[in-house]
Structure 1
Amino acid sequence: MTIEEPQPPSPRAQLVIGIVRRGGEVLLVRESLGVDGEVLWSLPGGGVEDGELLHEALRREMREETGLLVGDPVRTAFLVNVDSRRYPSALAVAFEVGVWSGSVRPEDGDIEQAAFFPLPDALKLLGQLDSAAQREPIVGYLSGEVAPGTTWLYRRRGGEETLVARW
């Protein structure tokens, strides 16, 4: 009989994403997101810490990345589930934020800039994201081509990222 060594738990990633609008504009942040560390524009958000509920993580991440104080989300925009070797079953949930206050002033050192963009310009910038799992749900939702609350399932293996299902 062989005794197996206990394996350390796989890292789990839970992320929140915030969608803040000002009239016909959308708030984006500029940070290192590219495959080779390129600095790109995306929606603000980040990791859920142990003991945090999603709306608490959203408030904290939005304050850190944008300087804004946000209220509770008004709707779930989309969910993304990505299975990769590094992060098995990572889950990202994007929320529309209805109430917010303050000035755009990122407090997170990883954020180079935060700014509002007219929706057509924001869609062009977001279309430059390398990862389909980052790009497709965001662009699909903000363009109105995909219904609110859509779930996206991706699998990433050997540099290949595949959309497995969407509903």
Structure 2
Amino acid sequence: MTTEKARTPVPRVQLVMGILRRDDEVLLVREGLGADSALLRSLPGGGVEDGELLHEALRRERREETGLLVGDPVRTAFLVHIDSERYPSAMAVAFEIDEWSGTVAPQDGDIEQAAFFPLPAAVQLLGELDSAPQREPVVGCLTGRVAPGATWLYRNRGRDETLVARW
């Protein structure tokens, strides 16, 4: 007979992000990310709350971080699955959004600014993100170097971020 060790439940992290384009521009937010919460640009998005479906969380986060009302996603841009010591099995899903309305006006105190950037500038700004799981999937998606809907699997131990697989 074997005895199993009792496990302490670890909170699961589920994040959603949205790619919203206006002609040849992409909407980015500026918020505290990376080392020492440096102000960096990223895709708008955030955590999925208990009882929310992904598209509902996406709409809520978009509204909070940009002030815009968005429709349902039209396709999955990419999925990132990260196994880290702090958050085992964290998932982040980015969606393309074609339908939106309103004026860009962030309502979230953590967002310093939300603005559209020409695609080359957006890619450059997103390339400044400290973490490979934050940086590589979005840059790969926006540049077209990686097929839409790609899945990225990372294992993070301390400062080591290893891309385990991508398809």
* Alignment TM-score > 0.5, same fold: yes
3-state SS, counterpart of residue 109 of structure 1 = coil
* TM-score normalised according to structure 2 size: 0.96
Q: Percent identity?
A: 75
Deviations 1:19-69 (A, max 9, x none): 000000000000011122111000000000010000000000000000000
Structure 1 residue 158, shift from structure 2 partner: 1.8
Rounded to whole Å, the distance in 2 between the matches of 1:4 and 1:150 is 36
User: Which runs of structure 1 show a deviation greater than 6 angstroms over 4 or more consecutive aligned residues?
Assistant: none
Rounded to whole Å, the distance in 2 between the matches of 1:131 and 1:120 is 20
Structure 1 residue 5, shift from structure 2 partner: 8.0
3-state SS, counterpart of residue 109 of structure 2 = coil
Rounded to whole Å, the distance in 2 between the matches of 1:92 and 1:50 is 15
| Mapped pair 1:22 → 2:22 | yes
Rounded to whole Å, the distance in 2 between the matches of 1:9 and 1:107 is 33
Aligned to 1:96: 96
Aligned to 1:11: 11
Structure 2 portions without partners, runs of 5+: none
Structure 1 residue 4, shift from structure 2 partner: 8.1
Aligned to 1:137: 137
What letter is aligned with 1:52? E
Aligned to 2:66: 66
Aligned to 1:52: 52
What letter is aligned with 2:156? R
Count of matched residue positions in the alignment of Structure 1 and Structure 2: 167
Aligned to 2:155: 155
Q: Is the 8 A contact 1:65 1:108 kept in 2?
A: yes
Q: Is the 8 A contact 1:14 1:47 kept in 2?
A: yes
Aligned to 2:111: 111
* TM-score normalised according to structure 1 size: 0.96
Rounded to whole Å, the distance in 1 between the matches of 2:20 and 2:144 is 16
Q: Is the 8 A contact 1:77 1:94 kept in 2?
A: yes
Rounded to whole Å, the distance in 2 between the matches of 1:84 and 1:121 is 30
Deviations 1:135-162 (A, max 9, x none): 0000000001100000000010021100
3-state SS, counterpart of residue 61 of structure 1 = helix
Task: Go from structure 1 to structure 2 and tell me whether the alpha carbon gap of 1:53 and 1:120 turns closer, same or farther (over 3 Å shift).
Answer: same
Structure 1 portions without partners, runs of 5+: none
Q: Is the 8 A contact 1:11 1:86 kept in 2?
A: no
